[in-house]
Amino acid sequence: MESNLILNKRNKNYAKECIDNIVEMGLDFKLQDNFRKRHVSESMIKEIYEMPENETRLEDIITLVKEQVLPYCSNFGTENFMGFPDAGNSIGGISGAVLSDFLQQNLINSSFCAPIATYMEIAVIRWLREIVGYKNIDVNNIWDVGGVITYGGTGSNSIAMLLARENHKENTMVNGVMTPEDYKVIIPKGIGHYSIKSSLMWIGCGDNVIEVPTIDYKYDLKELKKTLIENKGKIMCVVAYVGDSRSMTIDNLTEIYKIVKAVDNNIWLHADACHGFSLGFSEKLKSKISGIELFDSISTDPHKVLAVPYTVSALLLKNPNSLKKVTTTSDLIMKEDYAFGQVTPFIGSKSWMSLKVWFAFKNIGRKGIGEIIERRCQMAQYLKKNLENRKEYIVLNDVDINSVMFMYVGDKKNITMTLDKINIINKEIKKRMDEEGIYFLHQFSINDDNGKISKDAILYPLRYMSGNDNISEETIDKMLRYIDEIIKKLQD
């Protein structure tokens, strides 16, 4: 009997039918309203782990997944998902993602693995460089490109730390880290993303971050200067956030640059702009990130903010040549001018992740993306104003981009609840939301660094952050009415 397991010219129609069903299922999934329908139970997990010994028809697997897997999946594409911006719902982005899996180009090497993909990936990197204000130079080899595509912000931040390490003490790649305490990195206290600290441990620099206090979720510049002076010679890098993971605050980029360079010109300046680079698309908003172009490296995460599916990130370098410091050469497949594999530490075979960014960019255009980012920021401002006009909510952050951290406090003019009670009730609101699975807002602990409720207390706010262009004022009003209902039930 003809096998339908491996694609060949005779079973093309069968494959198409199956894949059409998958596409239909994926679209329906993304377009459903609820964030999640069901919760995975303990008893299901055992079954999930069972090894399939024999063949199952693909049609049966598709039916099984539709009925027994999808209801348990989280849908980041619904407007009701207001926890992260990663909607992944641009039609161009999804098309590019699907196609890249078909094409199976391997960006480790250009000549035989990815002949045109390499140049299109270079194009994407050059477009992103332009967006953040870096200059592009003529490209004659991979070291002129000024960036690399990675699997996520964590990967981009890790390569940035590797570059900072080499810049601090040349040949650490060869000699190893002898005295980790001499490879310190400064991050802002309480708002840094864990990927910096973790990557430093991964690359042998140990747990040597120094956390500098913040004001309004930005570096306290006096404290930053003091820390730089006290640790002179031992600081390899200062990391600034252009939209931190919690409050999406943009730091004082130009000021940080001046302070750091005045103390030690050799310190590597890294901007984690996984979110904030998106403002560079908008003529109206790009001044908010001015100064970013002064930094030595910039992490960007198109999969978070450009409505493209997971995963894709780009690390951009002010000086393209700096990637020479972490180059890997092997004549196995990489020794050629345009082999990206030479400059992508931690990564071997690499799929054409940038194709979905290329599709979305080409499809929407720079201007169109800028308009999407503007609408996204407007929606956050709308929510912020709405909350500020209501007596029962306090907004904790200045809304720079698209994050609104807020807490229910009863009556903000006369708070009678204890801090513990405020945290408990806000955690309870979140718990109820998660149980019902209709809406999703994020929650985490954060220091009340501007004293909106109680200076330096640990708070558990509800956090709105969306990147879904379908969100409207009505969607936000509905979500607030939903929270009001929960609060009412909690008080009954």
Ligand X SMILES: Cc1ncc(COP(=O)(O)O)c(C=O)c1O
- Distance of alpha carbon 411 from alpha carbon 414, whole angstroms: 5
Write down the least CB distance from residue 244 to ligand X, Å. Answer: 6
Contact status, residue 483 vs residue 285, Cβ threshold 8 Å: no
Write down the least CB distance from residue 151 to ligand X, Å. Answer: 7
- Residue selected from 90, 109, 110, 154 as contacting ligand X according to rule CB under 6 A: 154
Closest CB to ligand X among residues 272, 449? 272
Question: Which residues have C-beta within 8 Å of that of residue 319, sequence separation ≥ 6?
Answer: 146, 296
- Distance of alpha carbon 414 from alpha carbon 286, whole angstroms: 39
Contact status, residue 333 vs residue 350, Cβ threshold 8 Å: no
Closest CB to ligand X among residues 241, 257? 241
Closest CA to 275 of 76, 471, 467: 467
Return the range that interacts with ligand X (CB under 6 A); candidates 43-51, 151-159, 339-347, 421-429: 151-159
| Residues written for the chain | 492
- Residue selected from 77, 92, 96, 152 as contacting ligand X according to rule CB under 6 A: 152
Contact status, residue 216 vs residue 244, Cβ threshold 8 Å: no
- Distance of alpha carbon 38 from alpha carbon 53, whole angstroms: 28
What sign results for the dihedral spanned by CA atoms 145, 150, 156, 162?
A: negative
Tokens for 258, please give them.
């001046």
Among residue numbers 220 through 279, which ones bind ligand X (CB under 6 A)?
A: 244-245, 272, 274-275
- Distance of alpha carbon 79 from alpha carbon 376, whole angstroms: 12
Closest CB to ligand X among residues 84, 340? 84
Return the range that interacts with ligand X (CB under 6 A); candidates 90-98, 146-154, 344-352, 466-474: 146-154
Write down the least CB distance from residue 76 to ligand X, Å. Answer: 13
- Distance of alpha carbon 285 from alpha carbon 164, whole angstroms: 29
Write down the least CB distance from residue 245 to ligand X, Å. Answer: 3
Closest CA to 470 of 84, 90, 75, 97: 90
Closest CB to ligand X among residues 313, 443? 313
Closest CB to ligand X among residues 272, 469? 272
Write down the least CB distance from residue 2 to ligand X, Å. Answer: 43
Return the range that interacts with ligand X (CB under 6 A); candidates 50-58, 152-160, 169-177, 257-265: 152-160
- Distance of alpha carbon 303 from alpha carbon 311, whole angstroms: 6
- Residue selected from 195, 300, 397, 443 as contacting ligand X according to rule CB under 6 A: 195
Closest CB to ligand X among residues 300, 322? 300
Residue 302 binding ligand X, by CB under 6 A: no
- Residue selected from 77, 153, 345, 370 as contacting ligand X according to rule CB under 6 A: 153
Return the range that interacts with ligand X (CB under 6 A); candidates 39-47, 150-158, 163-171, 317-325: 150-158
- Residues touching ligand X: how many (CB under 6 A)? 13
Closest CB to ligand X among residues 131, 425? 131
Among residue numbers 155 through 194, which ones bind ligand X (CB under 6 A)?
A: 157, 193
- Alpha carbon 147 to its chain's center: 17
Tokens for 2, please give them.
């003809």
SS (H, E, C) 90-114: CHHHHHHHHHHHHHCCCCCCCCCCC
Write down the least CB distance from residue 142 to ligand X, Å. Answer: 23
- 3-class SS at 444? coil
Torsion from C-alpha of 143, 356, 150, 139, nearest 10 degrees = 0
Closest CB to ligand X among residues 244, 453? 244
Write down the least CB distance from residue 304 to ligand X, Å. Answer: 6
Question: Which residues have C-beta within 8 Å of that of residue 287, sequence separation ≥ 6?
Answer: none
- Residue selected from 158, 313, 322, 402 as contacting ligand X according to rule CB under 6 A: 313
Closest CA to 462 of 384, 401, 416, 408: 408
Residue 301 binding ligand X, by CB under 6 A: yes
Closest CB to ligand X among residues 113, 401? 401
Tokens for 292, please give them.
């970013």
Residue 75 binding ligand X, by CB under 6 A: no
Closest CB to ligand X among residues 145, 274? 274
Closest CB to ligand X among residues 154, 227? 154
Write down the least CB distance from residue 187 to ligand X, Å. Answer: 11
Return the range that interacts with ligand X (CB under 6 A); candidates 125-133, 153-161, 227-235, 424-432: 153-161
- Distance of alpha carbon 473 from alpha carbon 481, whole angstroms: 12
Closest CB to ligand X among residues 172, 467? 467
Residue nearest to ligand X (CB): 153
Question: Which residues have C-beta within 8 Å of that of residue 400, sequence separation ≥ 6?
Answer: 243, 247, 248, 249, 250, 276, 288
Q: Is the omega angle on the peptide bond into residue 150 within 30 degrees of 0, that is, cis?
A: no
Write down the least CB distance from residue 83 to ligand X, Å. Answer: 11
- Distance of alpha carbon 148 from alpha carbon 313, whole angstroms: 8
- The residue assigned the tokens 């996520």 is 152
Closest CB to ligand X among residues 186, 394? 186
Write down the least CB distance from residue 60 to ligand X, Å. Answer: 34
Write down the least CB distance from residue 301 to ligand X, Å. Answer: 5
Q: Residue numbers of the site for ligand X (CB under 6 A)?
A: 152-154, 157, 193, 195, 244-245, 272, 274-275, 301, 313
